[in-house]
């Protein structure tokens, strides 16, 4: 019987296809990792800014609790005072305070209860976000 001998070429090293495949895998995984890193950084930044805003709202609520009912009649004057007191960075956050008295919706009621809306807005990544909290103040 005759044997057919085949010559097999030995390759020592990487071929062009191996290099291209390795480069493609490197680029894909690097892109995925960088995208995940950027998303994690954005989320942690949003959480930090939101946490700071909530801290300011808590300070405002505590200050409202410490004040007498009559001291909150001039809500715009109170807003300017509280911004200075808590050190709210107005270049980053916008504070809106509104008050609604119970007597405004019920004419025959006594002036004993008011609701103060505290709204802080901020911009992040081109999106405006806001946090709103309602605080009830009762005349003692």
Domain of residue 49 covers 16-138
Residue 4 lies in a domain: no
Residue 123 pLDDT level (bands cut at 50, 70, 90): very high
At 80-113, the pLDDT tens digits run: 999 999 999 999 999 999 998 877 676 677 778 8
In a domain, 5, yes or no: no
Tell me, letter by letter, the H, E, C secondary structure of the chain. CCCCCCCCCCCCCCCHHHHHHHHHHHHHHHHHHHHHHHHHHHHHHHHHHHHHHHHHHHHHHHHHHHCCHHHHCCHHHHHHHHHHHHCCCCCCEEEEEEEEEHHHHCCCCCCCEEEEEEEEEEEECCEEEEEEEEEEEECC
In a domain, 32, yes or no: yes
Q: Is residue 11 part of a domain?
A: no
* Any domain includes 114: yes
Number of domains in the chain: 1
Looking at per-residue pLDDT, the higher value among 2 and 13 belongs to 13
């Amino acid at each position: 019987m005759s044997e057919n001998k085949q010559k097999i070429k030995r390759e020592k090293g990487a071929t062009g296809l191996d290099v291209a495949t390795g480069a493609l895998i490197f680029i894909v995984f690097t892109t995925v990792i960088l995208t995940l890193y950027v998303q994690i950084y954005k989320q942690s930044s949003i959480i930090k800014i939101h946490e700071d805003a909530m801290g300011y709202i808590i300070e405002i609520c505590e200050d409202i609790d410490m004040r007498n009912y009559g001291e909150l009649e001039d809500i715009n004057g109170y807003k300017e005072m509280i911004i200075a007191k808590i050190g709210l960075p107005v270049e980053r956050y916008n504070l809106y305070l509104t008050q609604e008295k119970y007597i405004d919706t019920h004419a025959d009621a006594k002036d004993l209860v008011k609701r103060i809306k505290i709204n802080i807005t901020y911009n992040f990544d081109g999106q405006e976000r806001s946090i709103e909290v309602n605080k009830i103040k009762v005349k003692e």
